[in-house]
């Protein structure tokens, strides 16, 4: 047997503890029990010799991002129930499987574990038509992307090729391998919110709650980018997908009145920017894209957190109006983060875009550099509109009474501390961004 009864007991105990995380996180006995379980897991089954502790440095960075994002999402979850925590934990496990695996069959298992758990989380609000619709659309798009993935696997199996990624890359000149990995790459476009599997992403965001949107925007994307780096052999296709995603995401967000749809289109555009660097197929391109990914996550997670602290049920952009008058510190923080994600100098978001443009020009991707500049300038428009609403537009009487009458969650200490840390990193990179570049350069040149 792969797992004995005691392993199953430990797993179920961990899920139970996870469900009581919010209530017992400051209890010393709870903390001791968690330490005992972790100690058992580490010292059993020869885990030190497993794939989890034999990762390359760059995979370790992705794993670190997964862990940080997961525990922040745990703090953001509104419904502190066993089933919600269990499903989030399964998404987390699926993300780890995707990062540590080098076999296409194991990758598929991690992919499906992620997809089915996210499908249930998105559709968890059964009394909401939009939530059910979002869950159904996520399921259909997930099935379509799984179909592309399995088609690529079946072609490899049909022509007698192995399913180990490292072996396939040695045969990258074979036409069957190129077609198969192309189909597998196409299936990843759904999880990354890239063209051509982007069309229902805004609807999925609109029907999901803010805590699930945060989970959807972090763990699946980080893990899928880690896999994309390994299977990317035809840069022209993914380059076209990334450029189209930048255009569609930027133009789609311009006329949005609903905040979730605006951030969905924004995510499509930013994933296009990130994947564009990988499509250059150079160490510098990987460095820039990894830096962009880190800065994007550092900026977007606090934005989602601030929106939830302000009002968990925020639907429309106009609901952010007058935030300056109700909470000055949070409004200033949100404005700085929005300016950063818009790429306004000298914030960290500008630094990542500037290096992406510089790398594109250096490797003769001049048209790509022009598209980045053009759509970055256009995209700054809807971000500045958000700032205008937050800082210069007074709140209407309807939203004012809504804020007064709604019950507020007062347990936001951890979230506010996290916001302070993320804001510090965002501002620190203005003056000392070379340190981040040196770290990523070291990881890239000592890992690939």
pLDDT at residue number 378:
92
Residues 6+ apart with CB under 8 A from 41: 10, 47
Does residue 342 contact residue 384 with C-beta atoms inside 8 Å?
yes
Domain assignment of residue 116, given as a range: 54-232
Residues 188 and 307 in one domain: no
Residue 30 lies in a domain: no
Residue 175: inside a domain: yes
Find the mean pLDDT for residues 124-151: 88
The pLDDT tens digits of the residues spanning 298-352 come to 888 888 888 887 766 777 888 787 777 777 777 888 888 888 888 888 788 888 8
Average pLDDT over residues 428-433: 54
The pLDDT, as a whole number, for residue 424 is 58
Rounded to an integer, the average pLDDT of 68-91 is: 83
Give CA–CA dist 443/448, Å, rounded: 8
The 3-class SS string of 399-434 reads HHHHHHHCCCCCCCHHHHHHHHHHHHHHHHHHHHHH
Long-range contacts of 136-141 (CB under 8 A, 24+ apart): 137/200, 137/203, 137/204, 137/207, 138/200, 138/204, 140/200, 141/190, 141/197, 141/200, 141/204
> Is residue 8 in a domain?
no
Based on the fold, state whether residues 200 and 108 are members of the same structural domain: yes
pLDDT band of residue 170 (cuts 50, 70, 90) is confident
Say what the pLDDT of residue 443 is: 52
Q: Find where tokens 């990843």 sit.
A: 188
State how far the alpha carbon of 37 is from the alpha carbons of 33, 42, 181, 373, in Å: 6, 9, 39, 51
**Domain stop point among 232, 252, 282:** 232
Confidence of residue 87 (pLDDT cuts 50, 70, 90): confident
pLDDT at 208 over 50: yes
Residues 213 and 267 in one domain: no
Same domain, 86 and 113: yes
Please tell me which residue, 3 or 278, carries the higher pLDDT value: 278
Buried b (16+ CB within 10 A) or exposed e, 92-117: bbbbbbbbbbeebeebbebbebbbbb
The 8 Å CB, 24+ separation contacts for 40-46 are 40/10, 41/10, 44/7, 45/7
Same domain, residue pair 326 and 425 = yes
| Inter-residue contact 159 to 101 (CB < 8 Å) | no
Residues 241 and 146 in one domain: no
Lowest mean pLDDT of 61-65, 266-270, 350-354, name the range.
Answer: 61-65
Q: Which of 4-18, 174-188, 236-250, 394-408 has the highest mean pLDDT?
A: 236-250
Asked if residue 374 has pLDDT above 90, the reply is yes
| CA-wise closest residue to 118 among 217, 245, 226 | 217
Residue 164 DSSP SS3: strand
Query: Residue 267 and residue 384: Cα distance in Å, rounded?
Result: 17
For the stretch 27-50, pLDDT in tens is 444 555 555 555 555 455 444 444
What is the Cα gyration radius of the chain?
A: 22
d(CA 104, CA 287): 25
- Report the pLDDT value the prediction gives residue 32, as an integer from 0 to 100: 53
Q: Which is more confident, 429 or 168?
A: 168
Residues 61 and 92 in one domain: yes
Q: Is the pLDDT of residue 426 over 80?
A: no
Shared domain for 204 and 293, answered yes or no, is no
What does pLDDT average to over the chain? 77
The last residue of one of the domains, among 232, 248, 280, is 232
Longest CA span, the chain:
68
pLDDT, one tens digit per residue, over 213-268 is 989 989 999 888 888 888 876 678 888 899 999 999 999 988 888 889 999 999 99
pLDDT tens digits, residue range 116-135? 889 889 988 878 888 888 88
What percentage of residues in the chain have a pLDDT greater than 90? Answer: 10
**Centroid of chain to Cα 376:** 20
What is the CA angle 388-247-351, rounded to 5? 65
**Closest to 19 in 3D by CA, of 85, 72, 77:** 85
Task: Determine, yes or no, domain membership for 342.
Answer: yes
Residues 309 and 189 in one domain: no
One domain for residues 190 and 215: yes
The number of distinct structural domains making up the chain is 2
Between 255 and 16, residue with greater pLDDT = 255
Q: How far is it, in rounded angstroms, from Cα 310 to Cα 305? A: 9
Whether residue 94 sits in one domain with residue 185: yes
| Same domain assignment for residues 386 and 273 | yes
Domain endpoint, select from 232, 258, 293: 232
pTM of the model: 0.81
């Amino acid at each position: 047997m792969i797992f004995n009864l005691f392993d199953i007991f430990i797993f179920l105990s961990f899920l139970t503890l996870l469900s009581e995380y919010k209530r017992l996180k400051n209890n010393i006995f709870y903390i001791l029990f968690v330490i005992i379980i972790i100690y058992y897991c580490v010292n059993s089954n020869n885990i030190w010799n497993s794939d989890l502790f034999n990762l390359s440095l760059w995979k370790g960075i992705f794993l670190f991002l997964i862990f940080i994002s997961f525990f922040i999402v745990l703090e953001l979850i509104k419904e502190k129930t066993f089933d919600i925590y269990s499903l989030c934990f399964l998404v987390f496990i699926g993300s780890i499987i995707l990062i540590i695996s080098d076999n296409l069959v194991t990758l598929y298992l991690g992919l499906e574990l992620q997809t089915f758990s996210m499908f249930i989380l998105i559709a968890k609000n059964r009394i909401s038509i939009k939530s059910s619709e979002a869950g159904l659309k996520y399921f259909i798009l997930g099935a379509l992307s799984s179909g592309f993935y399995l088609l690529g696997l079946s072609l490899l199996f049909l022509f007698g090729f192995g399913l180990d990624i490292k072996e396939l890359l040695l045969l990258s000149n074979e036409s069957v391998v190129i077609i198969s990995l192309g189909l597998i790459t196409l299936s990843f476009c759904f999880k990354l919110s890239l063209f051509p599997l982007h069309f229902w992403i805004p609807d999925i965001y609109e029907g999901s709650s803010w805590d699930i949107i945060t989970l959807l925007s972090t763990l699946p994307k980080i893990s899928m980018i880690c896999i994309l780096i390994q299977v990317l052999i035809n840069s022209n296709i993914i380059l076209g997908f990334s450029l189209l995603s930048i255009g569609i995401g930027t133009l789609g967000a311009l006329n949005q009145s609903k905040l979730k749809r605006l951030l969905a289109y924004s995510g499509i555009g930013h994933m296009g920017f990130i994947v564009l660097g990988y499509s250059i197929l150079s160490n510098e391109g990987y460095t820039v894209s990894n830096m962009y990914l880190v800065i994007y996550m550092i900026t977007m997670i606090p934005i989602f957190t601030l929106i939830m602290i302000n009002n968990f049920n925020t639907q429309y952009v106009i609901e952010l109006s007058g935030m300056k008058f109700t909470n000055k510190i949070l409004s200033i923080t949100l404005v700085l983060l929005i300016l950063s994600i818009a790429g306004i100098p000298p914030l960290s978001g500008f630094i990542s875009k500037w290096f992406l443009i510089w790398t594109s020009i250096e490797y003769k991707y001049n048209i790509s550099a022009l598209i980045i500049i053009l759509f970055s300038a256009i995209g700054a428009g809807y971000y500045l509109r958000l700032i205008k609403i937050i800082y210069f537009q007074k709140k209407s009487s309807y939203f004012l009474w809504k804020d007064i009458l709604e019950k507020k969650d007062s347990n936001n200490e951890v979230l506010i501390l996290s916001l302070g840390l993320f804001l510090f990193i965002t501002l620190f990179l203005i003056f000392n961004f070379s340190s981040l570049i040196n770290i990523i350069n070291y990881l890239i040149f000592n890992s690939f």
